[in-house]
Structure 1
Amino acid sequence: MKAYLANGLFSIGDRYVNQYLAAEIRKAVEGIDLYVPQENDAINDKSAYADSLAIAEADLQSLQASDVLIAVIDGGEIDSGVAAEIGVFSTLNRPIIALFSDVRQQGRDNHKKIEALIADGVENQFIYRNLFVIGLVKRTGVIVSTVEEVVEEMKKLV
């Protein structure tokens, strides 16, 4: 099985999440061929040079060859590169597993939070995700909230 791991890769936090998630997937899914863009030094060694076309071609080639996309959709907004990768991959009609671990998902059954939102729109205790991107994920995949759930979804696909 070939898979593509999409997430930001410029902050230390993103790089650590990518390393951890990739290690957990590789440990759980024997023989997986997992493409992690930050591991591709030909385009992502930032002390070297790769132009936009080289980056696009390398990532597109890996997306098109993949059986599944694992996309981290955390952050203030979905990373623009991740959103683009979801868009491209969704046209292939293959499964997408999105990891959305934001703790503001908790308490959706808390009536005080909902009442506060109704009373004052800026008292939003929840987080917004772009609904077009979410819809593309849901067409062929799932949204989970833990690394363990990502691994379980991957195991279902093998």
Structure 2
Amino acid sequence: MKLYFANGLFSQADFDFNAKLVAQLRAANPGLTIYLPQENTAINDKQAYADSKMIAEADTKEVLSADAMIAVLDGPVIDAGVASEIGIAYAKGMHLFGLYTDSRQQGATNAKKIAALQTVAENQFHYLNLYTVGLIKLNGEVYSTPEALVAAVHDFVQN
């Protein structure tokens, strides 16, 4: 079984997070092949050159050859490349695992945070594009912790 891991990879924080989470996934699922784009230096070594068509062709080929996808949804907005990859995976009918760890999703029962929604520019919660999230939920689920994600992937691989 093959899994595609979609997340931004341009900051050191993202690069390190991706590597750490994929290592956890590989340890929990020894027979699982995981494509992590940042490991594909042919297109993602930023000291080298890869044009837009090379990147699109290489990553689309990997998405289409996968059985499932993990898509990290964190950030000010969902990474544009990740959103594109989600669309391709959804169109293929692939199982999707979303990971959304943004701390602003907490406090959904806090009366002051709910009331603040009525005041202009006081939204205490983070917004995700509902179309993109809907594609994930139509073919999978969104998890709020890496631990829950690793457990869900393990269950998926075992079944």
- TM-score in terms of structure 1 length: 0.97
Q: How does 1:1-150 map to 2 (within 5 A)?
A: 1-118=1-118, 120-150=119-149
CA distance in 1, matches of 2:148, 2:57: 30
CA distance in 2, matches of 1:147, 1:138: 17
Corresponding letter in the other structure for 2:17: V
What is the percentage of aligned positions where both structures have the same residue? 50
Distance apart, 1:150 and its partner CA = 1.0
CA distance in 1, matches of 2:76, 2:116: 21
CA distance in 1, matches of 2:94, 2:64: 10
Q: Report the RMSD for the aligned CA atoms in angstroms.
A: 0.7
Q: Deviations over 1:6-63 (max 9, x none)?
A: 0000001110110111101001012111000000000001111111111111101110
Aligned to 1:155: 154
Aligned-partner SS, 1:3 = strand
Corresponding letter in the other structure for 1:6: A
CA distance in 2, matches of 1:121, 1:73: 25
CA distance in 1, matches of 2:86, 2:27: 24
Corresponding letter in the other structure for 2:142: I
Distance apart, 1:121 and its partner CA = 3.0
How many residue pairs get aligned? The number is: 157
**Where do 5+ consecutive residues of structure 2 fail to align?**
none
Aligned-partner SS, 1:91 = helix
Aligned-partner SS, 2:92 = coil
Structure 1 stretches of 4+ with a deviation exceeding 2 A read none
Distance apart, 1:156 and its partner CA = 1.5
